[in-house]
Amino acid sequence: MANKAIGILETKGLAGLVSGTDAMLKSADVTVAGPMRQIGSAMCNIVIEGDVAAVKAAIDAGAANAAQVGEVLSAHVIARPDKAIADILPAAGAKKAK
């Protein structure tokens, strides 16, 4: 994650998140940093990464698209995250503990 910005999109309902994620990945050169996560009470989120301009454009596009389908709770960009942030983000391909 060195020198990459991260963006977080949080919605109420999975349909809005899937639609928003699709828009983000199509609108800019960003990658998904980990799996979609369900938080509870229908809240779910996804984290993307890329350069600052791409992440900002992707989050704007994703939030606008998700708002047409459902409710956007939060959309945020962190331009230069601290290295310790990587420890709390979901790892790509991470498996749930049983």
Q: Residue 67 belongs to a domain with what CATH number?
A: 3.30.70.1710
| Any domain includes 60 | yes
Count: domains in the chain: 1
Structural domain that includes position 60: 5-32+47-83
Give the predicted TM-score (pTM) of the model. Answer: 0.84
- For residues 70 and 11, the answer to whether their CB atoms sit within 8 Å is yes
Residue of 49, 69, 62 lying closest to 20 (CA atoms)? 62
d(CA 41, CA 25): 26
| Any domain includes 22 | yes
d(CA 9, CA 69): 14
d(CA 23, CA 81): 23
Taking only the tens of pLDDT, the chain with its 98 residues reads 557 899 999 999 999 999 999 999 999 999 998 788 778 788 999 999 999 999 999 999 999 999 999 999 999 999 988 888 878 876 654 444 44
Three-state DSSP class for 52?
A: helix
| Any domain includes 38 | no
- pLDDT confidence of residue 95: 47
